[in-house]
Amino acid sequence: MDNNVLDVKNINKFFYQPEELHVLKDVSFTVKKGDFVSITGKSGSGKSTLLYLLSTMDTDFEGSIKIAGKEMKGMSNRWLASFRNQHIGFVFQFHYLLPEFSVIRNVMLPALKLAKYSKEEIEHNASELLKLLGIQDQANKRASLLSGGQQQRVAIARALINEPSIVMGDEPTGNLDSYNTAIVFDLFRKLSSERGQTMLIVTHDDDFAEQSDKTIHLADGKVTG
Partner 1 sequence: MKFLKDKKLAASVAFTHMHAKIKQTIIATAGVAFGITVFIFMVSFITGSNDYMKNVTFEQSPHLRLYNEAKIAEKTTIDKVYPTSINIVHHLKPKEILLNLKDGKKAVQEIKKDPRVAAVSGSVVNQVFFRFGSSSINGKVNGIEVEDEDKLFNLAKKTVEGSFKDLEVVPNSMVMGVSLAKKLNARKGDRLTVTTEEGENFSVLVVGIFKTGLSNIDQQESYASLATVQRFLNVPASYITDIKMKLYDMEEAPEMSLALQKRYNYLGSDWKKDNAALLDGEVLRNLIVYGVATTILLVAGFGIFNILTMMIYEKMKDIAILKAMGFSDTDVRWIFLTQALVIGLIGAITGLLFGFILSYAISKVPYQSDVMITLDHLPVSFNPMYYIAGFSFGILTTIFSGLIPSRKAAGVDPISILRG
Binding residues for partner 1 (CB under 8 A): 48, 52, 55, 57-58, 77-78, 81-86, 88, 90, 92-94, 96-101, 105, 109-110, 112-115, 158, 170
Q: Which is nearer to partner 1, 73 or 190 (CB)?
A: 73
3-state secondary structure of 81: helix
Q: How does strand 166-170 pair with strand 88-91?
A: parallel
- Cβ proximity to partner 1: between 111 and 184 the closer is 111
Spatial contact of 53 and 72, defined as CB atoms under 8 Å apart: no
Closer CB to partner 1, residue 52 or residue 213?
A: 52
Q: In this structure, are residues 69 and 109 in contact, taking their beta carbons and an 8 Å threshold?
A: no
CA 59 to chain centre: 17
Nearer CB in complex with partner 1: 15/214: 15
**Nearer to partner 1 (CB atom), residue 111 or residue 187:** 111
Nearer to partner 1, 130 or 168 (CB): 168
User: Is 48 within 8 Å of 170 (Cβ atoms)?
Assistant: yes
Query: Shortest Cβ distance from residue 211 to partner 1 (Å)?
Result: 26
Q: List, in sequence order, every residue forming a beta bridge with 214; answer none if it has no partner.
A: 37
Q: Least CB distance from residue 36 to partner 1, whole Å?
A: 21
Q: Which is nearer to partner 1, 55 or 138 (CB)?
A: 55
The DSSP symbol for 144 reads: G
CB of 62 to partner 1, least distance (A): 17
Q: Is the dihedral angle over the CA atoms 105, 111, 115, 116 positive or is it negative?
A: negative
Q: To the nearest whole angstrom, how small is the minimum distance from the Cβ of residue 46 to partner 1?
A: 12
Q: Which regions of 33-85 does DSSP assign to beta strands (E)?
A: 36-41, 62-67, 70-71
Distance of CA 109 to the CA centre of its chain: 16
Q: Could you tell me the smallest distance in angstroms from the CB atom of residue 55 to partner 1?
A: 7
Angle between helices 178-195 and 148-160 (to 10 degrees): 20
**Min. distance of Cβ 48 from partner 1 in angstroms?**
6
What is the rounded CA–CA span in Å between residue 203 and residue 174?
Answer: 8
Shortest Å distance, C-beta 99 to partner 1: 8
